[in-house]
Chain A
Amino acid sequence: MTRTLHLSLDINGRRHELDVEPRVTLLDALREHLALTGTKKGCDQGQCGACTCHVDGQRVLSCLTLAAQVEGRQITTIEGVAGPEGELHPVQAAFLEHDAFQCGYCTPGQIMSAVACIREGHAGSDDEIREYMSGNLCRCGAYNSIVAAVREAAEAAR
């Protein structure tokens, strides 16, 4: 068969061991090998943002990241955003309150992007939020509510 690598990945504060081919992306490793399906595959070519997760606190696209590349890094996915008792992250709570999603498929990526957007300091105005959330396509068209949710969560974080 083909070559495989043994990887040890730090995901949501837990260590995960897996054997994968070197070509396996972080996205496929999460979804197909680790049953962490909250991270979504929308395009698999870096064009939609549905697969956004955090590597060392930075938002990245897991479809264009090899699983092998992130060994030794801290990975956070949507499953790791809420608190230990399941208490919602303020961004998650704001998404629910503002109805910032419909089908829910782009939503994990939107939330991962929003958490980072606020942390980066790019949520200073509605226009800035719009621009810095533009890497996450939403075909249901929840953009107004996404902006409102990010604005609210950013204000709460100040």
Chain B
Amino acid sequence: MTIMEPRKHGSASDGLVGGRLSRFEGRMKITGAATYALEYPVEGVAHAVLVQSTIAAGRVTSIDTSAALAAPGVLLVLTPEDELGLMTASDWYGNRPENQPYFPLPREVSYNGQSIAAVVAESRELAVEAAKLLRIAYDEAPRVADLYDPAAGKGKLMENLSAGWGDAEAALAASPVRIEAEYSTPREYHVAMEPHGLTARWDGDRLTVWEPSQWTHGMQRNYAEWFGLPLENVQIVSPFIGGGFGSKGVALAYGAVAAAAARKLGRPVRLALTRPQNFTSYGGRAATRQTIALGATEDGVLQAIVHRGFNETSTYADVPEQTGAATPILYKVENFSSQSRVVPVNVVSPGALRGPGKNPSAFGIECAIEELAYKIGMDPLELRLKNYADHDYQSGKPWSTRRLREALTEGADAFGWSKRSHAPRSMREGRTLIGWGIGCGTFPVLRAPSAAMIRILGNGRVEVVSGAIDMGQGTYTILAQTASEAFGVPVEQIDVVLGDSRLPGSAIAGGSMLAGSITGAVHKTAAAARDELIGLALNDPMSPFRDTGANTLTVSEGRISVPSGEGLSLDLAELMAALGREEIEVTRNTLPDDAQGLTDQNNAWSSMARVQGPTMGDYSMHSWCAHFAEVRVDEDFGTVRVSRMVSAFDCGRLYNPKMVESQWRGGIIMGIGQALFEEGHVDGRNGRTVNNNVGDYLVPTNADIPDLQVISVGVPDYEASALGGKGVGEVGIVGVAPAIANAVFHATGKRIRDLPLTLEKLI
């Protein structure tokens, strides 16, 4: 739990919702005072390191621990032999298998880099060296290294992800113009700058876990169920998270190992994954392949889309990376068919990485649409506008708001699209080929309930309290703004307390659902707190306002006053003193009235059971964007540099444009990395990711990124959220890679359909 001092720049309106308030917790981050999970001083901590498999499939037949146990400072070695007494926890939706033990260090090896042992010692250095002394014997089994392994097969059809309407095959066959191509994306990784890890401490049967978390209540449930504890006996502490991007949403095997080791040893245990271990201790984005066939008229009216997608998954869970997610909703099309399959390979179960599903899906459809544009000789912008979807053809519902047309046209204006020369290879400077391309993106609005607490303190300060987290999206900042506006106190007077599972429950910081959810809860709670304060001021026998005869009061700029006039006006501290109150605490949530029981609440904050998808109401609700990219390709070397980008977004109302623009740019930059560099290199012989470090798995550097112009074309969407915003975090990456691939085609005349666009594909 951390209490923030506010920072503010610019005009007074910056403190209200929609203002450009600087990052509320910023001072702590720029002075080194922000304490991340592994930095909490915990007395008597021992250090654990993981040992991971070096084969892709098989069994651990034995681990000789004698040398490691004899090494200096070693306290404990855990192997598959050790019975840790854990039970399997619920899945994402709150469903839990009965009586199923959980083995975080399993004997069966399902992928290279799977944790199979842990060594705990007095220092990390001692543990690392002792871990090298383990003698591990395996019984190896045949492996499937990746999607391209001859043994991979066609996988399993995911019926729930199939979609179709009209008669796509027939309409395709009847179309005068047809294109068909396969698009593929490789294994990609989150690479949050803060490596995963935790410190676990037991106090009797209470467990405290300091771990970076995108969802403190979800992870609290994971640990509680593993160890058979009541929820309230587990506390997750995570006020700062050094980046997550989808990787820090659930507790993972290493967490169970550290907590189990702490219990066995009777002292706190810290476990920090090494950077290479971050590549296999949780899954990144699954590799995907998809074929897309488009049928159209000669003048570019889409007649049919046929999509067939595959993604790799692990051998023990069917995790979809739905390449058909954006395909049905970007364009108007009367005949559509999409199927998705998962193909088990020996890899850690893939996870959610920024823009899951939509991202690789947009790479397919947005490349295909430009291929069609070039085939019929039409400007790709014109083709997109011509096939603009007036409603959601998949659900049949109207859009709540869809300003993709404005994103395309205003983005095009800002980019100077009208100056484009259509022919590939028609723009160059010396040996540098220049190309322009477009990629549209979308991400659904997911709605979830949240709770919040407002505390009015005797000193006049107002605390906003929530178990929600801030990993850089700006939760601290927008909640201060929301409370300021709803309560009527300046942001300087507000403290925001986040990132602890003991605090009121909230939606996960994932799927772009947190901001819309938690601002709604805080707005509701702050308004209730203001009303409660006014009620006390009017009715409490000790209140000076009793004598004014007023039947209502206002709260503004931190003062509570008789409306319109010269009457009594007190600041909050004065009123609290008069009332003789140290603290007033108000808690509200956005659950329906019939779901206010404790079990309902716990389920709501720790599972996805109450999350509502984009078409569960009367409308189809999504964020939208259009990216315009300029690339410069060295004709001789094949190197691609993005020299300019304009991106226009419809994300509804922006709670703080400064934070939003940072999020958009962040998504775009990750998309540039995905387009140009990012690819897990898998050794086909043993399924190992050999570039498991940030010197070899390349993410963009500062020098790779030009000035990125971002434009908001959204309008408030009150169907999507209480305050009118739609999600901003995920959508930014969606459509970037196809915009760049399309620009590379325009520059070079070479259509590269497999990411990333590395130089060997272009020379």
Contacts and interface: CB of A to CB of B under 8 A. Distances in A.
B32 A38 contact: yes
B435 interface: no
Contacts of A111: 30
A108 B36 CA distance: 13
Contacts of B242: 40, 103-106
A48 B693 CA distance: 10
Given A99-B659, A130-B702, A134-B703, A141 B32 contact: no
Interface string A45-64: 11110100000000000000
Contacts of A43: 195, 275, 693-695
B243 interface: yes
Interface string B223-259: 0000000000000000011111100000000000000
A79 B72 contact: no
At the interface, is chain A mostly helix, strand, loop or mixed? loop
Contacts, number: 187
Nearest to A134: B701
A105 B193 contact: yes
Interface in A78-120: 78-79, 81-82, 86, 88, 92, 95-97, 99, 101-108, 111
B427 interface: no
Contacts of A5: none
A30 to B, nearest CB: 10
Contacts of B240: 103-104
A39 B32 contact: yes
Interface string A7-41: 00000000000000101100010011001111111
Given A2-B126, A102-B663, A102-B666, A137 B699 contact: yes
Contact of B125 (A21, A77, A106, A139): A21
Contacts of B536: none
A131 interface: yes
A42 B193 contact: yes
B694 A97 contact: no
A144 B662 CA distance: 9
B264 interface: no
Interface stretch (B284-292, B618-626, B667-675): B667-675
Interface stretch (B20-28, B132-140, B566-574): B20-28
A152 interface: no
Nearest to A31: B39
A85 to B, nearest CB: 13
A88 B31 CA distance: 8
Given A137-B699, A141-B670, A37 B39 contact: yes
B693 A45 contact: yes
A125 to B, nearest CB: 12
A108 B192 contact: no
B702 A41 contact: no
Given A32-B124, A96-B23, A103-B243, A81 B666 contact: no
Contacts of B35: 37
Interface string A126-148: 11011101111111111111110
Nearest to B30: A92
B693 A143 contact: no
Contact of A42 (B275, B472, B658, B707): B275
Given A44-B275, A96-B22, A146-B702, A102 B193 contact: no
13 contacts: A43-B695, A45-B275, A86-B31, A99-B22, A99-B662, A101-B23, A102-B474, A103-B472, A104-B30, A134-B703, A139-B193, A139-B245, A140-B243
Q: Sorted from nearest, which 5 A-B pairs have the closest CB atoms?
A: A38-B32, A102-B472, A105-B242, A104-B29, A141-B669
